[in-house]
Amino acid sequence: MGMFQRKFGVKNQKRLKSFCEEGEREMMNEQIMVLQNKLLEALDWKLMHETDSLAVQKTSLDMETEVQDDLPISIQLLFCLFNSNHIPDFKLVLNACVTSILTAGYLNLISQQEARAQEPRSPCQSSINEENEFLRIQTIQNQAEIDLLHKQLEFCFEEKDRLESLTRLFCRHVNDLMMKLEEERSYRATNERTEQLELPLSTDASVVNANDQMELKTMVDAIAAASQREAEAHEKAITLYTENNELQLKLETFIVANEELQSKLKALIEEKNSLIEMYERAASKSSYNNVNDSESEQNGMEVRDDDNSAERGQNGMEVHNNDSASELANLSELEMKTVENLEQQRMELHEENEKLMGLYEIAMHERDELRRRLSSYEQNRVESRGELHCPEKHVEVDGEKCLQSCAPPIYLGTEVSMEEIRARLLNAEQAFVDFHEVLREIEATEEGLQLKQEEFRSLELLSSEMQDKKALVDKKLSALRYSLSNFSSSVAYFEQREVRAKARVNASVSYFRKKKEELARLQVCKEDAEANLGRIQQSEIELRNILAVLKSKLEEKNQRQESEKVLFAIDNIEKVDTSQRNWQLGGKATELLKSEEEKTKLQSEMKLSREKLGLVKREFEDLSKRLDKIESEIQAVQMDIQKGSKSVEEMELALQTVIHEKETLLEITENGMSEIQSMILEYHQSVFDTDLKEAELKTLEEELQLEFRRIEELREARAAASEKMTRLLQNTSSHSCFAEKMEE
């Protein structure tokens, strides 16, 4: 249904446009003016030519047929419709047709705007909707102006009816005058011989019919004014129609731009949704990796053995490379088990270290007691045996390293047992020193192992971040490539728009130049018409002067003839000789004949002058009409030039806008290419950094395995040293007991 209304509205608009462009009303006004001129010419001819009534009637009939032949068929039909009584409501029918056409076009426009207004709006359509509302308001204003013009057109039709009635009355009055003129001519034909010496009827008729001519001129002027008002209303309707068409074109352009913006907005929304999905996936992955990294950091603070750490490193690398949720869960379970085992081993090691430290303190205390007892035994021995002097020297003990002393024999005075005790003490001291060195080395190795484990965890974290960064850069690169492909299609579209805008600008410029050339031509025609008008006015003044001179001469002749008539009557009254009177009568008759000939000659000259004056008047009126027409055309062309200049400016502005948008799009494309290059470099750099971190992880993992092996070896050495130290302590304790017994 909407499609049918649109087609019907377009069809009615085309009909109205063709009706407006044909200019039938303007042609009808011109024909009315021509008819006015011909009526005036017929009146002048009727007043000047008084020879034959039949000739006058024939001339008037020929003139009417000529006028009817000169009129176009459409205007004759309008005249017939206006003059006939069969179709009295023709004006109402025409007004109803025009109103229905304009109403259909307006309703079509309103329906289209409402249909477009019911479509879903987007934030980018606010400016376009405001522009549509403005255009809708302007369309309503134009519709109000069209209604006002309809009212003015109805008023013009009423004025035209009134003028037609006046024209009918005028025709009746002219017919009456023609009948009176025929009666006067018949009366003059019967009394021609008796009224030869009287004044010609033309001057009297001109005086008598002066009032009738003035009435005719007033009626013709009223007809011309009404037709002029009708033409102005018609021109205003045409201008409003053109403005309505321009507004419709603007509305269509805004609708097209709105659809383009909607398509672009949809594409941007889809791209935004895809980027949001990518960001959510990346965020979920990064959060999951952060949770796993935090668990690994908490678990990595403890000490691990070699096999479990290697298995965890391999599982962690597999999880990092494959990004599998099940493997990550298994890895977390293994790490928890490993952490529990390491915690248990650490607690056992701490207990063993505490036990060993207790044994070490007991051994040191026993060593100090043994040294004290040995020193007291030596002093007692020296005092008891003064003759015996032991050259052996006591070596001071540094607390950590060795004890060197000369001990006398303990068991039955032999020196062998004392040396053995000293050797065992030195061995025990050396075992303690070795044990401390092993402990310090174990502690240093564990500290280095913890540092390397922390470094390994940080490298794992960096490697996961590098992998995420690599994936993110890859997704950004693919999204940017997709955007650039869309930009390339948009560039082609903007190039097409630029070509269309240039074509419109060229068409507007050519139309503007044509109108300028037409204005120059019309100005030249106006100058020529003004020059001809001045020349015709000068000739009219000359003819009027000649006519005044001829009228004065004719009046002199008439006065002379009157005086001669008086003298002739006096001569007839007087009694004079017949021969003399006959001679005088013959002379006076010849003079009267000569005066009559001169009078007829003057009348013919006046007639010719009047004819020339009528021709000059007609030419003057034709030139005046032509000049008015040229001026109206000049005004119309000037209006077209103003509209053309405005349209050229608008088209150039639109072209500059399209060019600016295209340049902006090209700049965005260039920036996108440079960004793609930088992102490609960033992608390669991230790949390189990821590979480098993976290589560092492998190297550090190997070092950790070596450190774990070193720790195991040191633990074995510590166990051997602790066993050795316990044996020595047991031996020294037994010897110390033996020494105490000996001392007792």
Q: Regarding predicted confidence, which is higher, 302 or 240?
A: 240
Q: Regarding predicted confidence, which is higher, 515 or 143?
A: 515
Instruction: Give me the chain's average pLDDT, please.
Output: 65
pLDDT for 103 beyond 50: no
Q: Predicted confidence band at 199 (pLDDT cuts at 50, 70, 90)? A: very low
Segment 53-67 mean pLDDT: 42
pLDDT in tens, 384-421: 544 333 333 333 333 333 333 333 333 334 344 566 66
- 658 φψ region: left (φ > 0), alpha (ψ -120 to 50), beta (else): alpha
pLDDT in tens, 466-502: 778 778 877 877 777 777 677 667 777 778 888 888 8
Q: Regarding predicted confidence, which is higher, 177 or 518?
A: 518
Q: Which residue has the tokens 């030519």?
A: 49
What CATH number should be reported for the domain whose range is 351-382+416-518+626-744? 1.10.287
Q: Regarding predicted confidence, which is higher, 516 or 221?
A: 516
pLDDT for 45 beyond 80: no
The residues near 49 (Cβ < 8 Å, ≥ 6 apart) are 55, 56
pLDDT for 527 beyond 80: yes
Phi (first) and psi of residue 388, to 5 degrees: -95, 125
| Dist CA 610 CA 330 (whole Å) | 128
pLDDT in tens, 258-302: 677 667 667 767 766 666 666 566 666 655 555 555 555 444 444
Segment 440-463 mean pLDDT: 78
Range with lowest mean pLDDT among 322-336, 451-465, 676-690: 322-336
Residue 83 near residue 164 (C-beta atoms within 8 A): yes
pLDDT in tens, 584-639: 545 555 676 677 778 788 888 888 888 888 888 888 888 888 888 888 888 888 88
pLDDT for 65 beyond 50: no
3 state SS of 603: helix
The residues near 686 (Cβ < 8 Å, ≥ 6 apart) are 466, 469, 470, 473
pLDDT for 234 beyond 80: no
Q: Report CA-CA distances (Å) from 208 to 199, 218, 559, 637.
A: 14, 17, 21, 47
Which pairs count as long-range contacts for 204-211, CB under 8 Å and 24+ apart, including other chains?
A: 205/47, 205/50, 205/181, 206/47, 209/47, 209/177
Q: Indicate the pTM of the whole model.
A: 0.30
Quote the pLDDT of residue 556.
82
Q: Predicted confidence band at 572 (pLDDT cuts at 50, 70, 90)? A: low
Quote the pLDDT of residue 553.
82
| Dist CA 316 CA 310 (whole Å) | 10
| Dist CA 416 CA 537 (whole Å) | 172
Domain ranges across the chain: 1-184+210-271, 351-382+416-518+626-744
Q: Predicted confidence band at 575 (pLDDT cuts at 50, 70, 90)? A: very low
Range from 114-123, 153-162, 276-285, 543-552 that averages highest in pLDDT: 543-552
Quote the pLDDT of residue 154.
74
Q: Predicted confidence band at 378 (pLDDT cuts at 50, 70, 90)? A: low
Quote the pLDDT of residue 464.
81
